[in-house]
Amino acid sequence: MYKVDIGKKILIANEEYARKNSRFLAKRKKLCLNMISSPGSGKTTILIRTISELKDKIKIGVIEGDIQTDIDAERIRAATSAVVQINTNGSCHLSAAQVCGALENLPTDDLDLIFIENVGNLVCPSAFELGEAGKIVVLSVAEGDDKPAKYPSIFAKSKVLLINKIDMLGAGVQVDFDVEKVKADARRLNKDIEIFPVSAKTGEGMSSWYGWLTESVGNLRL
Ligand code: MG
Ligand code: ZN
């Protein structure tokens, strides 16, 4: 019981910071999206391509969450200087308090959109609200098509599902991944979820994702 109470207290304290972040962003009319996936699904590559291809239309900043290292933040810095690294030093998710500090270090007034790249983990990041307008879940075809069934919470809570690395579904590559099954499973959990099959590597399918992003930034909501 004791353990449960501590868990609850942590979540309540987190939600206070999440509300603070949400107010900060609303006041400045900035859209913020929280990107969540397993390690290696291609979040960083998706961000780099998105930032570069939309740079004349939308100014994008990134809060980069990692357990260790700033490898991903350095990769993103090639596309934008508006990047702040958070190292969680072992924790498997970002907290709203960490994001609060990071927002103060971003040139927020110069940006239209802020992505939070969460720590690679499909489980607990879905429980920690960060003050974002919406969550984006990324699933790569290399991970298998059972993920919506096995990790329902993040698929139920996300506005968008990006099915990444669809270039791997081409002839000659042995990947057991049924795109239609994933779409059906995700929609069973979340009837409103937008689903974009993409390859951040080749660019295939990315224009639909850019269209959704551009419209959401224009409307300032999802
Ligand atoms: Mg990354
Ligand atoms: Zn965690």
Could you report the per-residue pLDDT of 174-217, keeping only the tens digit for each? 778 999 999 999 999 999 999 999 999 999 999 999 999 999 99
Could you tell me if residue 42 is inside a domain? yes
The ligand minimizing its distance to the Cα of 95 is: 2
- Residues flanking ion ligand 1, Cβ below 5 Å: 43-44, 72
CA distance 22 to 18: 6
Best CA proximity match to 70, nearest among 85, 92, 83: 85
- Tell me the three state secondary structure of residue 41: coil
* Closest ligand, as measured to the CA of 11: 2
Q: How far is the CA of 3 from the centre of ligand 1 (A)?
A: 31
Taken in order 19, 44, 127, 133, the sign of the CA dihedral is positive
pLDDT digits (tens, 9 = 90+) for 124-143: 999 999 999 999 999 999 99
What phi and psi, each to the nearest 5 degrees, are found at residue 116? Answer: -105, 115
- Among all bound ligands, the one having the nearest atom to the CA of 70 is 1
For residue 94, the ligand closest to its alpha carbon is 2
Tell me the residue range of the domain where 182 lies: 29-221
Q: Kindly report the pTM of this predicted structure.
A: 0.94
**154 C-alpha vs ligand 2 centroid, how far in Å?**
13
Query: How many domains in the chain?
Result: 1
Q: Is residue 13 part of a domain?
A: no
Angle at 86 between CA 24 and CA 83, to 5 degrees: 70
Tokens of 18: 């999440």
| Ligand number nearest to the C-alpha of 63 | 1
Residue 172 sits in a domain of what CATH number?
A: 3.40.50.300
- In a domain, residue 19? The reply is no
Distances (CA, A) of 52 to 13, 60, 161, 193: 36, 9, 21, 25
